[in-house]
Amino acid sequence: MEEYNYHAPVLLNEVIQYLVTNRSGVYVDCTLGGAGHSLSILKHLDQQGLLIGIDRDEEAIEYARKRLISFENQIILVQTTFSELSSILTTEQIKEVDGILLDLGISSRHIDSIERGFSYLSDAPLDMRMDSGQGLTAETVINEYSSAYLKQIFKEYGEEKFAGKIAAMIDKARQKQRIRTTGQLAEIIFQVVPYKMRMKSAARIFQSVRIFINDELTQLRNILTQILPCLKLHGRAVTLAYNSLEDRMIKEFMQEKANPCICPPDLPVCACGRLPQIRILTRKAIQPSEEELARNPRSRSVRMRCLEKIA
Ligand SMILES: C[S@@+](CC[C@H](N)C(=O)[O-])C[C@H]1O[C@@H](n2cnc3c(N)ncnc32)[C@H](O)[C@@H]1O
């Protein structure tokens, strides 16, 4: 079995099985990361097949380029956000693609690179930027945003019930000294939250700040509007979401596109004329097997969904 130092691809077999339907097709991996999924996609394509890989993190692009070197004539890698998908396709003069993969969030490399400040279990500068070239860091948000704004971030993006108390404690702490590290922030959370819940609260607070500074929900909203115009008829999109905010947004998007009719249920025939644009191929979200969970506990929260464009 292959060893993954950068990131172990989640639900690898399931992703390939749902996504790759045309061996000579064009596929977009919007979240290249360590290229685990991309490598497997390429192995399932013939020499006509093409893979476009996108990641906002320069390190991921560099790593993936080395890992995919034996396919160098069949790949186009771009360092940018996936909200640029349509314009990348226009630049490459590609009208539509056979499949789009979205494996959201951060990679294991992000968590394990302590200096990038994503983990509440170690002490490092409060950073949390996926693209280290971007301006806003977690340190700026934690020290310079009002406590009311922080509370809103913790509630909205972390669904954290101690949001108000944690924001107030941050405000108190930063009046004495600037909060510069992940360890300091974790310590403040631990002071507020009851012992048994402290790890989960820390995870939620860190997640909320990360989602906020990387504008992850806007990115997702944006790419969802591009998926159908970029897919060929019968092309597929596979999504892997790791938190309920993202999974809910994807689920609602799919339901709306699969069942857009707005006629009252008692009307015998549809009068609104809104026709389904997609078929949902995963009636319930797919989750990892016991075996995958044991091998890769970081896969535990994933929900995989897949759609096929039908009109
Ligand atoms: C879960 S990892 C993907 C892992 C990958 N599937 C693999 O097999 O190694 C998510 C990756 O997507 C990137 N990413 C997250 N949001 C992005 C966005 N809006 N635009 C481009 N890349 C993004 C992150 O930098 C990270 O490398």
**Which CATH number characterizes residue 65's domain?**
3.40.50.150
* CA-242 nearest atom, ligand 1: 1
Return the pLDDT at 36: 98
Return the pLDDT at 294: 98
pLDDT, one tens digit per residue, over 118-129 is: 999 999 999 999
pLDDT, one tens digit per residue, over 223-250 is: 999 999 999 999 999 999 999 999 999 9
Return the pLDDT at 250: 98
- Residues 271-280: what's their mean pLDDT? 96
Residue closest via CA to ligand 1's atom 5 equals 33
- pLDDT score of 260 more than 90: yes
Q: State the average pLDDT for the chain.
A: 97
Q: Give the domain extent around 192.
A: 135-213
| pLDDT above 90: percentage of residues in the chain | 98
* CA-109 nearest atom, ligand 1: 27
Residue closest via CA to ligand 1's atom 24 equals 106
pLDDT, one tens digit per residue, over 26-70 is: 999 999 999 999 999 999 999 999 999 999 999 999 999 999 999
Burial 109-139 (b: 16+ CB within 10 A, else e): bbeeeeebbbbbeebbebbbbbbeeeeebbb
Q: Report the CATH number at residue 207.
A: 1.10.150.170
Q: Which of 81, 102, 107 to mutate to test the pocket of ligand 1 (most atoms within 8 A of CB)?
A: 107
In a shared domain, residues 24 and 163 = no
Domain boundary residue among 198, 213, 228?
213
Strand order in the sheet with 26-29: 75-79, 50-55, 26-29, 97-103, 231-241, 303-309, 278-280
pLDDT, one tens digit per residue, over 20-36 is: 999 999 999 999 999 99
Q: CB under 8 Å to 233, separation ≥6 — which residues?
A: 309, 310, 311
Q: Which residue has the tokens 């950073």?
A: 127
Residue closest via CA to ligand 1's atom 4 equals 33
Residue closest via CA to ligand 1's atom 27 equals 33
- pLDDT score of 193 more than 70: yes
- pLDDT score of 77 more than 80: yes
In a shared domain, residues 203 and 231 = no
Residue closest via CA to ligand 1's atom 20 equals 81
Q: Which of 3, 14, 31 to mutate to test the pocket of ligand 1 (most atoms within 8 A of CB)?
A: 31
Residue 3: pLDDT band (50, 70, 90) is low
Distance (Å) from CA 85 to ligand 1 centroid: 14
In a shared domain, residues 171 and 228 = no
Asked whether the beta carbons of 61 and 198 are under 8 A apart, the reply is no
Q: Which helix (H) or strand (E) holds 164?
A: helix 163-176
Distance (Å) from CA 268 to ligand 1 centroid: 46
Return the pLDDT at 4: 73
Return the pLDDT at 5: 87
Q: Which residue has the tokens 């064009």?
A: 26
Residue closest via CA to ligand 1's atom 22 equals 55
Residue 143: pLDDT band (50, 70, 90) is very high
Return the pLDDT at 2: 62
For the chain, the domain total comes to 2
| Residues paired with residue 152 on neighbouring β-strands, in sequence order | none
Query: Measured between alpha carbons, how far is residue 250 from residues 60, 98, 189 in Å?
Result: 25, 19, 30
